[in-house]
């Protein structure tokens, strides 16, 4: 192992020991990108120097944690997928029973709130049957999700994100650049901390969304994460993965595509 590799490993060990994050879950290319981005921000050139900054500065440990938890998300991220999901929600809610949906991971809540808003906005979906659980490993992301307040910034246009809805401003209270999700939307969603690698499996879901986490996960953990989500589904339950993700080899027989391009599948056994 070269000195550079050794210094990088020491940074990972420091993260493991003093930052509330498990580096071994994630692939090395991802960790390296996030750490390099923080090194540029702190103007340090080597992993050895960055390690010193990390040891000395609680602020840097917090900033690195923030950067590593990848909680990038949108309302209606990949709008084509949401249009393809609409008939699935219509069919599920026509079944005359409670429909249970799991958004895992949900980041700051925009994904489960998108489900709730779509259900309320589409007259062919019976929102009164729908119950959504949003889970994530990050308590900060969950606190944001429970608060349900989002801000338009230089890089995020919340009103544009809601553009798929017929009547977007019916589901948020808008004050200047701030958007608060309405109580009607919030009443369909509950949030809970859940680690998709370490925590117990769940069950009884008619639909699960597991989008934009598998791409960051080390290959050794992809299967356990995927199985946790897949096993939570009832027979015939639907699954959505991210647009750049695939069902891991070895699990493909258990799913048939409903809309392959939009990564919507149905559990067949």
Ligand X SMILES: C[S@@+](CC[C@H](N)C(=O)[O-])C[C@H]1O[C@@H](n2cnc3c(N)ncnc32)[C@H](O)[C@@H]1O
Binding footprint of ligand X on the chain (CB under 6 A)? 25, 69-73, 77, 105, 107, 111, 136-138, 141, 195-197, 211-213, 242
Instruction: Give 38 or 77: the residue with its C-beta nearer to ligand X.
Output: 77
Instruction: Give 83 or 195: the residue with its C-beta nearer to ligand X.
Output: 195
Q: Shortest approach of ligand X to residue 252 CB, angstroms?
A: 21
In Å, what is the CA distance from 40 to each residue of 10, 78, 139, 224, 252? 18, 30, 27, 34, 41
Q: Shortest approach of ligand X to residue 216 CB, angstroms?
A: 7
Instruction: Give 68 or 92: the residue with its C-beta nearer to ligand X.
Output: 68
Q: Shortest approach of ligand X to residue 199 CB, angstroms?
A: 8
In Å, what is the CA distance from 98 to each residue of 151, 204, 238? 33, 11, 15
Q: Shortest approach of ligand X to residue 25 CB, angstroms?
A: 6
Tokens found for residue 149: 């307040």
Give CA–CA dist 170/228, Å, rounded.
35
DSSP code at position 213:
S
Residue of 18, 186, 68 lying closest to 117 (CA atoms): 186
Q: Shortest approach of ligand X to residue 226 CB, angstroms?
A: 12
Instruction: Give 77 or 238: the residue with its C-beta nearer to ligand X.
Output: 77
Instruction: Give 25 or 82: the residue with its C-beta nearer to ligand X.
Output: 25
Q: Shortest approach of ligand X to residue 180 CB, angstroms?
A: 20
Residues sharing a CB contact under 8 Å with residue 190, sequence separation 6 or more, in sequence order: 131, 132, 133, 134
Residue of 3, 5, 2, 13 lying closest to 55 (CA atoms): 13
Instruction: Give 88 or 213: the residue with its C-beta nearer to ligand X.
Output: 213
Give Cα 88 to chain centroid, integer Å. Answer: 20
Instruction: Give 116 or 137: the residue with its C-beta nearer to ligand X.
Output: 137
State the first-to-last Cα distance of the chain, in angstroms, to the nearest integer.
45
Report yes or no: 26 and 70 within 8 Å, Cβ to Cβ.
no
Report yes or no: 238 and 258 within 8 Å, Cβ to Cβ.
yes
Q: Shortest approach of ligand X to residue 94 CB, angstroms?
A: 26
Give CA–CA dist 196/224, Å, rounded.
8
């Amino acid at each position: 192992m070269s000195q550079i590799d050794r210094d990088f490993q020491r940074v990972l060990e420091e993260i493991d020991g003093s930052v509330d994050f498990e580096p071994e879950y994630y692939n090395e290319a991802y960790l390296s990108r996030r750490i390099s981005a923080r090194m540029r921000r702190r103007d340090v050139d080597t992993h050895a120097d960055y390690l010193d900054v990390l040891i000395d500065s609680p602020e840097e440990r917090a900033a690195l944690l923030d950067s590593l938890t990848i909680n990038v998300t949108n309302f209606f991220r990949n709008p084509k997928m949401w249009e393809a999901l609409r008939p699935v929600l219509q069919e599920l809610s026509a079944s005359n029973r409670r429909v249970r949906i799991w958004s895992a991971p949900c980041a700051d809540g925009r994904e489960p709130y998108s489900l709730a808003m779509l259900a309320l906005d589409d007259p062919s979906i019976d929102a009164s049957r729908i119950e959504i659980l949003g889970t994530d490993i990050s308590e900060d992301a969950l606190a944001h999700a429970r608060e349900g307040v989002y801000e338009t910034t230089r890089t995020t246009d919340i009103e544009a994100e809601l553009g798929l809805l017929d009547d977007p401003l019916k589901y948020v209270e808008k004050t200047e650049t701030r958007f608060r999700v309405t109580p009607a939307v919030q009443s369909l969603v509950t949030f809970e901390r859940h680690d998709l690698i370490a925590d117990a499996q769940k069950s009884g879901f008619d639909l699960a969304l597991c989008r934009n986490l598998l791409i960051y996960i080390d290959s050794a953990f992809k299967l356990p994460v995927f199985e946790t989500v897949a096993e939570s589904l009832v027979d015939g339950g639907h699954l959505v993965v991210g647009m750049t993700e695939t069902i891991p080899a070895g699990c493909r027989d258990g799913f048939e595509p409903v809309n392959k391009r939009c990564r919507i599948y149905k559990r067949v056994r």
